[in-house]
Amino acid sequence: MIYNVLGLLIRMQRELFLKEIEEIRKKPANFVISDNYLFEREFIRFYKAIVCIKYEKALYFKRNFYDYKFKNISPIFQSHNIKYINSYLKQIKDNRKKLRFFRYFKFVISYLMKIKLQLFKYISGIGLRTMVDFVRIYQLKNLNSINIKKGGLITANWSWTNYFHWNHDFLPLVLFYYESNKKENNICIPSSFFKKAPFVEETLNILDIKYTILNNKSKYCFSKLEIISDASLNPGNQRAHLIRNLRSKFYQSCNFTLKDKQEIIYISRKDNSRIANTNIRNISNEEECIKIFRKFKIRVISTLGLSVKEQFNIFSNCKTLIAIHGAGLTNMMFMKSNSNILEIRQKDDVGNNCYFSMASALEHNYYYLNAVNLKNTEVMNASLYVDLNSLENQLVEILN
């Protein structure tokens, strides 16, 4: 009995990867006290400690990891359904006193439906995993292995292929983990993830991070496997030093020419309509807004189809970035500290402050412009109407 316990301790260990920390955020540059309710929960952010789970021997087969006894260890770092549920419950609580009764009632109903869906996925996933594992264990014992000496895994949910979440939530951790291990460990990523998100491979190559693409049809045997637990515990909220370290590494790795006169750029989502299901959030009176942008000699661009390096070359020369709430704002990561960010966001939206948080971490001057959602839907499906006088006044304040 004692030997079995000792053997388990040798094969699986937990070590502290990142300490718990509290960060105080810089308030928006145009902050008014009446908007305190929009940002108050983000002014001080507490980060829990993150643990690295180390296995002496582990296997990978068809998107799942197994220990030396063929026990599925994937649920340790894939319990994203529960994290979603906790996040939804927190938003219901936070909005209780901030929204009017009928709007809050509608909000609660929509989020209860989301909770129901995640709960169903979690419960059905447990039963399905049990049946699937019974078959896979037999396959695991009879398949030839591809041997890997050291492997590292950093993510809680491989379905997160969003440009923002990869570059903000995961890539800073990947880089920090890789550098902490003296660039010895392979970062392990399933092949299906690369197919959905080509920018993942491009960023890893730019940063010269060694990685292994895990083919779902092959069996991989790791002499050592390290898993960062709860890596996405705070989606949309990353530790400031990790974000700044990533920016610094991009500047070291990319060759670029800094222009004498840095640009003012507005990112339009109009061209996104060429791809199905991407024009779900827009500015309803964008043409009128663009007329004002031209008056201030603001460059209007679309990032659709641009490589990461092309976006780096554009935004490393950007002094002021303007955009509606969306992944385009992620490019503030390539901008020098003390640049200006203007986010056009939905009025009364207290739940989506990821770009405010990112701007604070990167030491930018964050400005916001509240706009009315004409669809009266959640922010991800919003069609925002921008008050033109407010926009022009805000641009005068920023640019002067």
Q: Rounded to two decimals, what is the model's pTM?
A: 0.81
Report yes or no: 303 and 295 within 8 Å, Cβ to Cβ. Answer: no
Per the structure block, which two tokens stand in for 252? Answer: 């070291």
Distance (Å, whole) CA 174 – CA 156: 13
- What pLDDT, on a 0 to 100 scale, did the predictor assign at position 283? 92
Summarised one tens digit per residue, pLDDT across range 295-348 is 999 999 999 889 999 999 999 999 999 999 999 999 999 999 999 999 999 998
159-186 average pLDDT score: 86
Summarised one tens digit per residue, pLDDT across range 233-261 is 577 889 999 999 999 999 999 876 666 67
81-90 average pLDDT score: 73
Summarised one tens digit per residue, pLDDT across range 183-196 is 888 888 888 777 77
Q: Which of 378, 356, 380 is nearest to 367 (CA)?
A: 356
Per the structure block, which two tokens stand in for 228? Answer: 């960062």
Fold of 254-399: Rossmann fold (3.40.50)
- What pLDDT, on a 0 to 100 scale, did the predictor assign at position 116? 82
- Residue spans of the domains in the chain: they are 8-18+51-78+144-249, 254-399
- What pLDDT, on a 0 to 100 scale, did the predictor assign at position 3? 38
- What pLDDT, on a 0 to 100 scale, did the predictor assign at position 120? 76
Angle 271-276-278 from CA coordinates, rounded to 5°: 55
Sign of CA dihedral 274, 278, 284, 285: negative
DSSP string, 247-301: HHHHHHHS-----SS-EEEEE--GGGGGSTT-TTSEETTHHHHHHHHHHTT-EEE
45-72 average pLDDT score: 83
Q: How confident is the model at residue 93 (pLDDT cuts 50, 70, 90)?
A: confident
- Give the rounded distance of the alpha carbon of 282 from its chain centre: 21
Residue 164: pLDDT above 70?
Answer: yes
Helices (H) and strands (E) in the chain, counts: 13, 17
Distance (Å, whole) CA 378 – CA 281: 10
> pLDDT higher for 56 or 394?
394
209-225 average pLDDT score: 88
3-state secondary structure 8-57: HHHHEEEEEEECCEEEECCCCCCCCHHHHHHHHHHCEEEECCEEEEEECC
Report yes or no: 267 and 301 within 8 Å, Cβ to Cβ. Answer: yes
> pLDDT higher for 103 or 245?
245
Q: Which of 262, 274, 378 is nearest to 313 (CA)?
A: 262
Least confident of 125-139, 153-167, 206-220, 319-333: 125-139
- What pLDDT, on a 0 to 100 scale, did the predictor assign at position 81? 66
> pLDDT higher for 141 or 337?
337
